[in-house]
Amino acid sequence: MKKTYLILFSLLLITLSSFAQTTVNDQLNPLITGVPSLTITPDARAGGMGDVGAATTPDMNSQYWNPAKYSFMTSPAGLSFSFTPWLRSLGINDINLSYLTGYWKFDELSSVSGSLRYFSLGSVRLTDEQGNDLNMDAQPNELALDVSYSRLLSDNLSAAVGFRYIRSDLNNGANGAGGIEMFPGNAFAADIATYYKTPISMATGDANLAFGLNISNIGSKISYDLNETSIFIPTNLRLGGSFEYPFDDYNKISFSADINKLLVPTPVKPIGDETYESQSYLDRKALYDQTGPIAGIFKSFNDAPGGMSEELKEIMWSAGAEYAYNNQFFVRGGYFNENAMKGNRKYFTAGAGFKLNVFQLDVAYLISVAQSNPLDQTLRFSLAFDLNGLTDLMR
């Protein structure tokens, strides 16, 4: 059963990370967290722009990127559903991410929002340590349920706080197989976000400059063995900027960029002549395991074995652009980059959208330029509804 546990956990990490080029395998030192599905881009608009969203114009999927943006929504309420297939290029049809989110502005200053994220890892056949079939399947899955409150602090500035419940069940339907139980992991987390937007007068009309900050998943570690051991969840710092420029009353284009860094300690590895059995390594590993989540946030800025140069390699960046015609037709493109030493995710994205008074449909497509990516050549979509528009339609 121990082997089964490793297989399930490895499957989760592998499907949620692109595989580094073989030439950099010896240098690979990625940050490892539990519940890595929390880092998957859930919606097609941001997915078509290189996974940017901290400071892009507010939309119904702002819950993931920056819930403070909901204070600037013009419609009082909205709902969106997104679906992301996983590993479709390998012919796998039962791994996917579903995402439901919505918001409600109950006055001019305040908004509440929430989302439900469900990641299904399909069905996994279990074997014992000798490779014998246990005649049992597991249906591993992860989910997150969150709610946020955002408030307008001035004409240009808003802030938000969010709370999240996380559940990860990597052995669902197969507890007790092989005589050893593996328990679902549970965690609680919070988000802190802010958004600043200011108009800039130009000859063709008012342009908009925006900045956003979101620190997400600040919370407890997660355990699969009743707290005998635990692992960090993906606490993340995201900072972004965006510039929207109108050509005329019908045409406008925006450029956006994000940088983000996981606020978790770098995993401990043997140094020099150390082995995984060396006492010095075991002592350092024990200190790592005992590090709390808040201490881990501060430690994450100066604990990389390669010093500051390696710390800088842990920063991921992405950039994207969006062209809009009459605020109804959209064309998008972007690029995401992660250092080869930290995972080697590098890919271009493209997307499109169509909006009416009542609904908006967005699609996104990813083209990997590294060796592999779980979303390579995959089409995903989001369907959003303006609830105020639906109400007017039914009158």
Question: Mind giving me the DSSP string for 164-230?
Answer: EEEEEETTTT-TTGGG---PPEEEEEEEEEEEEEEEEEETTEEEEEEEEEEEEEEE--B-SSTTSS-
256 pLDDT higher than 70: yes
Coarse DSSP helix, strand, coil percentages of the chain, rounded to the nearest 5 percent: 20, 45, 35
Rounded to an integer, what distance in angstroms lies between the CA atom of residue 355 and that of residue 359? 6
Neighbours of 46 (CB within 10 A): 31
Q: Greatest CA separation found in the chain?
A: 75
Examine the pLDDT at 33 and tell me if it is beyond 80.
yes
pLDDT band at 50 (very low <50, low <70, confident <90, very high): very high
Q: What is the mean pLDDT of residues 66-89?
A: 92
Domain coordinates of the chain in residue numbers? 2-264+300-394
Which pLDDT score is estimated for 182? Answer: 73
CATH of region 2-264+300-394:
2.40.160.40
Overall residue count recorded for the chain in this entry: 395
Q: Given pLDDT bands bounded at 50, 70 and 90, which one contains residue 65?
A: very high
* Residue 4 confidence (pLDDT): 43
| Residue 356 or 138, more confident | 356
Cα distances (Å, whole numbers) of residue 159 to 108, 116, 120, 294, 380: 14, 21, 32, 21, 30
Alpha-carbon distance 372 to 236, whole Å?
Answer: 24
Tokens 């908006």 correspond to 360
pTM of the model: 0.88
Which pLDDT does position 271 carry in this prediction?
Answer: 81
Residue 23 pLDDT level (bands cut at 50, 70, 90): very low
Residue 251 contacts residue 52 (beta carbons within 8 Å)? no
Q: Are 380 and 352 in contact (CB under 8 A)?
A: no
Confidence grade of residue 8 (pLDDT, cut at 50, 70, 90): very low
pLDDT in tens, 190-233: 999 999 999 998 887 789 999 999 999 999 999 988 888 899 99
The percent of residues in the chain predicted with pLDDT above 70, rounded, is 85
pLDDT for residue 7 is more than 50: no
Whether pLDDT at 176 is above 60: no
Helix (H, G, I), strand (E, B) or coil at 383: strand
**pLDDT band, very low/low/confident/very high, at 174 (cuts 50, 70, 90):** low
